[in-house]
Amino acid sequence: MKIFACIGIVILALAGVAALSVGGSGLNYWLNKTFAPLNEQVRHDTFECSQSHTDGLVHEIRDYRDQYGNADAAGKTVLRQRVMQDFNSYTCGDLPSDVQSFVNSIR
């Protein structure tokens, strides 16, 4: 009889560990599903307003400005669309005056 009690306790302990594991996985899934999109949005907003992103955007628009001067009409249309797409997605403040004036001149 004592052996059955010990086996029962071991089985109950293993079932408890399995239940905690499944419950922990479910909790982890729920937490990730609930809070991961919020965390990713904060990361995205932080990146969008970072100095490195701003510097990269300024460099890219200046490169487009140099190409724009040497492009034909079709090339200017494509470059204009690309600059406007990049410029309109930037919402974190003002860019340097030369970039602003170039964007205003091609609008």
Per-residue pLDDT tens for 53-86? 899 999 999 999 999 988 899 999 999 999 998 8
Those residues with Cβ within 8 angstroms of residue 53's Cβ, 6 or more apart along the chain or in another chain: 47
The answer to whether the CB of 68 falls within 8 A of the CB of 76 is yes
> Residue-wise over 15-28: b if at least 16 C-beta within 10 A, else e?
eeeeeeeeeeeeee
**What does pTM read for this prediction?**
0.61
Q: Tell me the pLDDT band of 92, cut-offs 50, 70 and 90.
A: confident
Tokens of 47: 């990146």
Secondary structure E strands in the chain:
none
- What's the chain's Rg over C-alpha atoms? 29
DSSP assigned state of 91: -
